[in-house]
Structure 1
Amino acid sequence: MEKTTATRNLNSLITKVEAARLKISEYHIVKIIGISKYSTAEDIKTLYEVGQRAFGENKVQDLKDKMQTLDEFPIEWHFVGTLQKNKINNLIDLNPTLVHSLDSLDLAIELNKKLEAKNKKMSCLLQINSAFEDTKSGVDPKEAVDIYKKIINLCPNIILKGVMSIGANVEDEDIIKKSFQLTKKIYEELVPLGARYCSMGMSNDFELAIACGSNLIRVGSTLFKNL
Structure 2
Amino acid sequence: MEKELAVKNLDRVISKVEAARLRVSEHHIVKIIGVSKYSTSKDVAMLYSAGQRAFGENKVQDLKQKSQELEELPLEWHFIGRLQKNKINNLIDLNPTLMQSLDSYELALELDKKLELKKKKMSCLLQINSAFEESKTGVDPKEALDIYKKILENCPNIKLKGVMSIGAHSDDKEAIKNSFLITKKIYDEVVSFGAIYCSMGMSSDYELAITCGSNMIRVGSSLFK
Counterpart-to-counterpart distance in 2, 1:133 and 1:2: 38
Any residues of structure 2 matched to 1:1-227 within 5 Å, and which?
1-225=1-225
Counterpart-to-counterpart distance in 2, 1:20 and 1:145: 28
Counterpart-to-counterpart distance in 2, 1:53 and 1:7: 13
**1:28 Cα deviation after fit:** 0.1
Aligned AA (2:163): V
**What whole-Å deviation, never above 9, does each CA across 1:129-153 have from its counterpart, x for those lacking one?**
0000000000000000000000000
Counterpart-to-counterpart distance in 1, 2:189 and 2:66: 36
Counterpart-to-counterpart distance in 2, 1:198 and 1:93: 25
**1:63 Cα deviation after fit:** 0.2
**What whole-Å deviation, never above 9, does each CA across 1:109-139 have from its counterpart, x for those lacking one?**
0000000000000000000000000000000
Partner-residue secondary structure (3-state), 1:162? strand
Counterpart-to-counterpart distance in 2, 1:67 and 1:171: 35
With structure 2 as the length reference, what TM-score do the two structures score?
1.00
Counterpart-to-counterpart distance in 2, 1:18 and 1:190: 26
Aligned AA (1:188): D
Counterpart-to-counterpart distance in 2, 1:85 and 1:127: 16
Counterpart-to-counterpart distance in 2, 1:167 and 1:50: 28
With structure 1 as the length reference, what TM-score do the two structures score?
0.99
Aligned AA (1:213): G
**1:68 Cα deviation after fit:** 0.5
**1:186 Cα deviation after fit:** 0.4
Partner-residue secondary structure (3-state), 1:71? coil
Structure 2 unmatched runs, 5+: none
Moved over 2 A (4+): none
Counterpart-to-counterpart distance in 1, 2:23 and 2:174: 19
Aligned AA (1:221): S
Counterpart-to-counterpart distance in 1, 2:109 and 2:53: 31
Partner-residue secondary structure (3-state), 1:218? strand
Partner-residue secondary structure (3-state), 1:73? coil
Alignment root-mean-square deviation, CA? 0.3
Structure 1 unmatched runs, 5+: none
- Count residues in correspondence: 225
Counterpart-to-counterpart distance in 1, 2:92 and 2:205: 31
Counterpart-to-counterpart distance in 1, 2:145 and 2:198: 14
**What whole-Å deviation, never above 9, does each CA across 1:135-173 have from its counterpart, x for those lacking one?**
000000000000000000000000000000000000000
